[in-house]
Amino acid sequence: MKRRELLTAAGLGLGAVALSGCKDDAAIAADQSGQPEQRFRWKMVTSWPKNLPGLGTTAEHFAQTVTALSNGRLSVQVFAAGELVPALEVFDAVSSGTAELGHSAAYYWKGKSAAAPFFTAVPFGMNAQETNAWLYEGGGLELWQQAYAGMGVLPLPCGNTGVQMAGWFNREINSLDDLRGLKIRMPGFGGEVLARAGATTVNLPGSEIFSALQNGVIDATDWVSPYNDLAFGLHQAARYYYYPGWQEPSAVLELTINQQAFDQLPADLQLIVRQAARSTNQMMLDEYTRRNADALRTLVEEHGVQLRRLPDDVLARLRELSLQVLEETANADSLNRQVLDSMEAFREKVWAYHAISEQSLYGLRG
Amino acid sequence: MKRRELLTAAGLGLGAVALSGCKDDAAIAADQSGQPEQRFRWKMVTSWPKNLPGLGTTAEHFAQTVTALSNGRLSVQVFAAGELVPALEVFDAVSSGTAELGHSAAYYWKGKSAAAPFFTAVPFGMNAQETNAWLYEGGGLELWQQAYAGMGVLPLPCGNTGVQMAGWFNREINSLDDLRGLKIRMPGFGGEVLARAGATTVNLPGSEIFSALQNGVIDATDWVSPYNDLAFGLHQAARYYYYPGWQEPSAVLELTINQQAFDQLPADLQLIVRQAARSTNQMMLDEYTRRNADALRTLVEEHGVQLRRLPDDVLARLRELSLQVLEETANADSLNRQVLDSMEAFREKVWAYHAISEQSLYGLRG
């Protein structure tokens, strides 16, 4: 009510009719708290090249959705990696308020919170549907928010790739021996697991993968899945395309919000941010489900890519090592332990249901 | 601009400061077309009892989301089945404008459009993730909208149960012979298929299922999945709980919108309706994924429910009959044919990708 009171209290001698008209408009313009509406212009920094298909475009989709839903009251401008801050400084930029929003992946912020990687991808863990259910209905999102609360950052899921691929390899993997000495690009828990299996793991930004693989700097790499991998031309740099993506059965993209900026939004704009994140989450999975299917066909039928399944004994050993890595990570920190226990309890019960529903029907597909 | 021009043209001798303040508020209150904002009060009729868990509550969630996102500019009031119109007159009510919105399931409107059942559930078809991708990225939604266009109704997906269960049975199903003469409640394509397998299929509203099963009026029934089935107490009326839910690998709930009312909304409110439907779609699947898992555990551990898998030869025969029913339905109408061909082309390519991703990882779960 402040602005209206100010205007009327100023006693400017407005005629009754004009005042009444003015008050009506002011009432429409006021939000439920009675404050006059404000316009907000927010910056969103990302870890992606400008409009990179699937990742940069998802960030753009979110920004455009918020701007349109709010009819411009909250407009969001997207900055590609390096435009405002480098790819891996998104979290710091949001925490400090340099930008109000960030779009990236939590596993990059392991140095900020040891629990962060759990919120991107867990080897041999839940798929996208299960992860979404854990985050929104199983307490996962509360734990994620707790992980960042001390840094003034509010995270929300904002996109999911679905199951990824195991990666591109320049030599065949027929046994555990073939992993020893393999130079492979793989971030997150997956990289730690492969290191324990004897590989030499490196982390490279997406933009450097192709040339490193082509020049033999690395023997193998993960990236995402057919949609993104085809766009990077990785089939021109490696012979074998391995599945399944044990290291990322679901990969969650992360919206980070500066908590202080969020607190200043009226309730409807806060809800617009939350809802746009949730509908973007659904949109990206829909898009990846379709485009991965298209791109796999293109890779196999047009480019003659050799699909290979990782051998059972290799997968079994990677699974053992994954459990070790997850347990040790959980033991290092009480929040990590809470997160892993929460995920595992949820996973166990949802897998029991999916065994007789999703998995049972998959089994009939032949 | 009309109202503002009116005010200023009235020449009421407002002081410059006051006029400026008043104009600012009026500008904020105007939408991008310059029209003063209007408020809309919409009615939403549903096929569900008031706040029925999972179905009625999803409709309420959508309504509350729209109302809150629009800060009350578009408020939606939900009516349970029978409050304004009966459960199965939702479509007519929306088509005629009695209500602006409806929440129900498309397969109830087979009499309005023969293609409608394809947009709820297809036996042995795609799961929720695949169906969402077909609807939003594979042309499915356009076909659904085409099916209703002549009736002034715009449909959107607004919720998904995920895979359902095959149902509750008072006798074991050990062979195809056991289906002959079985009196079972099952709507949609699934009911047609069981009729061809020799069962006597009936359709009953949810509210009548329990007593029909308990009194022996029927021998078996489908309903939804553990979450909803537990709430109805069906385990108290039948001994065996069968899986997998071959008849509904995904069941889409439907938002219907009166096209003329929708066309009168400003662009931002139209987007709010669309986005709320999409985020509600995600919300319901998240909720069902969690609550089905909880309810299955309760049914088995606390109520001693006997889980049974349908025998392979029964499933194989039901699959053959399903293909017959779908083909005959497609042959009856050119739109039906377009819909089935579109689904099948999408299904084929997405199943090829999911075979090496989702299905491959499911196989490792043991």
- Rounded CA-CA distance B183/B287 in Å is 32
Architecture of the domain spanning A40-160+250-289? 3-Layer(aba) Sandwich (3.40)
Contact between chains at B10 and A18 (C-beta distance less than 8 A): yes
Which CATH superfamily, name and number, covers B167-249+304-364?
Periplasmic binding protein-like II (3.40.190.10)
User: What is the percent of chain B with per-residue pLDDT over 70, rounded to a whole number?
Assistant: 90
The two domains A40-160+250-289 and A167-247+305-337 share their CATH topology (first three levels equal): yes
Mean pLDDT of chain B, nearest integer: 90
Q: How far, in Å, CA of B292 to CA of B301, rounded?
A: 14
Statement: residue B208 has pLDDT above 70: yes
The CATH code belonging to domain B40-160+251-289 is: 3.40.190.170
pLDDT tens track for B277-309: 999 999 999 999 999 999 999 999 999 999 999
Q: Which residues of B285-324 are buried (b: 16+ CB within 10 A; e: fewer)?
A: bbbbbbbbbbbbeebbeeeebeebebeeebbebbeebbee
Q: Can you give the pLDDT at residue B33?
A: 52
Nearest CB neighbour to B362, from listed A352, A356, A362: A362
Contact B139, B342 (CB under 8 A): yes
Which of B24, B58, B271, B290 should one mutate to test binding to chain A, selecting the residue with the greatest count of A CBs within 10 A?
B290
Query: How far is it, in rounded angstroms, from Cα B146 to Cα B228?
Result: 32
Burial of A170 (0-12, 13-18, 19+ CB in 10 A): middle
Q: What is the ipTM of this complex?
A: 0.90
Cα separation, B228 vs A2, whole angstroms: 49
Chain A nearest-CA distance from B217, in A, is 28
Position A36 scores a pLDDT of 61
Q: Which two tokens stand for residue B329?
A: 């339905």
The CB density around residue A232, as the number of other CB atoms within 10 Å, is: 20
The CATH code for residues A167-247+305-337 is 3.40.190.10
Q: Which among B37, B69, B282 has the least Cβ separation from residue A271?
A: B69
**CA–CA distance, A62 with B283 (Å, rounded to integer):** 18
Residue of B nearest to A363 (CA): B359
Average of pLDDT values for B85-114? 96
- Comparing B29 with A365, which gets the higher pLDDT? A365
Pick from B26, B245, B350: which is nearest to A289 by CB? Answer: B350
Residues of A in contact with B124 (CB under 8 A): 361, 364
pLDDT digits (tens, 9 = 90+) for B215-270: 999 999 999 999 999 999 999 999 999 999 999 999 999 999 999 999 999 999 99
Across the range B120-127, mean pLDDT stands at 98
Residue B357 in 3-state DSSP? coil
Helix (H) or strand (E) holding A271, with range, is: helix A267-297
Mean pLDDT along residues B120-138 = 98
Question: Is the model's pLDDT at B28 over the cut of 60?
Answer: no
Answer yes or no: is pLDDT of B27 > 70. Answer: no
Residue B29 has pLDDT above 50, yes or no: no
Q: Would you kindly state where each structural domain of chain B is located, as residue ranges? A: 40-160+251-289, 167-249+304-364
- Could you tell me the two tokens for A352? 């029991």
Confidence of residue B36 (pLDDT cuts 50, 70, 90): low
By the 8 A CB rule, do A144 and A119 touch?
A: yes
Residue B244: asked if its preceding bond is cis (omega within 30°), the reply is yes
Give mean pLDDT in consecutive 10-residue pieces for chain A, a chain of 366 residues.
32 30 38 67 95 94 98 97 95 98 96 96 98 98 98 98 97 96 94 97 86 96 96 95 98 98 97 97 98 98 97 98 97 96 98 98 91
